[in-house]
Structure 1
Amino acid sequence: MKTSRRHFLLLSVGVGSSLVLSRAAFADTANALSEADPRAQAVGYKEDASKVDKAKFPGYAAGQTCGNCSLFQGKATDAYGGCTLFGDKQVAARGWCGSYTNM
């Protein structure tokens, strides 16, 4: 079966865009901040806000997450995003830390 140049180009674009999308999805978690990171421990970062020790962090209130913090640099629909506190590390949108602020 002969493949036309047009068919080859369309197939190449499709495969290429799939690779780009999967690399973007991988990048979300590849550079994720670990709870074991000393900077994360310093502010009590948890990847899941429901696991925050409320006795240790009395400033925590239900509904506070990294995703609705003013320091979060991702979109509302992102699972992970940047944070001004952690430089190039990505924080979980459902996470929380003691520096939470919602201005």
Structure 2
Amino acid sequence: MKTSRRHFLLLGVSAGSAFVLTRAAFADTANTLSESDPKAQAVGYKEDASKVDKAKFPGYAAGQSCANCSLFQGKASDAYGGCTLFGDKQVAARGWCSSYSNM
């Protein structure tokens, strides 16, 4: 099969797009806050609010999550977003920490 210049360019664009999308996805996951991070541990951050130790954090109430916290810098529909507490790290929208505020 003879490869045309157009076919070659389309293959190059497709491969380049896949590379860029893969790098962007990797960058997003590399920039997420881990529960083992010392700053996260200091405020009891959990990626899933349903796993919060209610005995250790009596201020937690059902329905509280990063997505509806005033410190969350993403949209409520985002899976991850920024938080003013953690600088450039992304927190899970379904997460929670003891600094939760809805003001």
Q: TM-score, normalised by structure 1?
A: 0.83
Partner of 1:80: 80
The verdict on how the C-alpha distance between 1:2 and 1:75 changes in structure 2, with shifts beyond 3 A counting, is farther
Aligned to 1:71: 71
Does structure 2 conserve the Cα–Cα contact (< 8 Å) formed by 1:29 and 1:80? Answer: no
Report the equivalent of 1:61: 61
Distance in 2, Cα, partners of 1:24 & 1:74? 17
| Identity percentage of aligned residues | 86
**What letter corresponds to residue 97 of structure 1 in structure 2?**
C
For 1:97 and 1:74, locate their aligned partners in 2 and report how far apart those are by CA, in whole Å. 16
Residue 21 of structure 1 pairs with residue 21 of structure 2: yes
CA contact (8 A) 1:35 1:41 kept: yes
Structure 1 unmatched runs, 5+: none
Gaps of 5+ in 2: none
RMSD, aligned α-carbons: 1.8
Distance 2:44 2:10 in 1: 49
Q: CA deviation at 1:85?
A: 0.6
TM-score, scaled to structure 2: 0.83
Tell me the number of residue pairs that the alignment of Structure 1 and Structure 2 aligns.
Answer: 103
* The 10-residue stretch of structure 1 (87-96 or 22-31) with the greater mean CA deviation from structure 2: 22-31
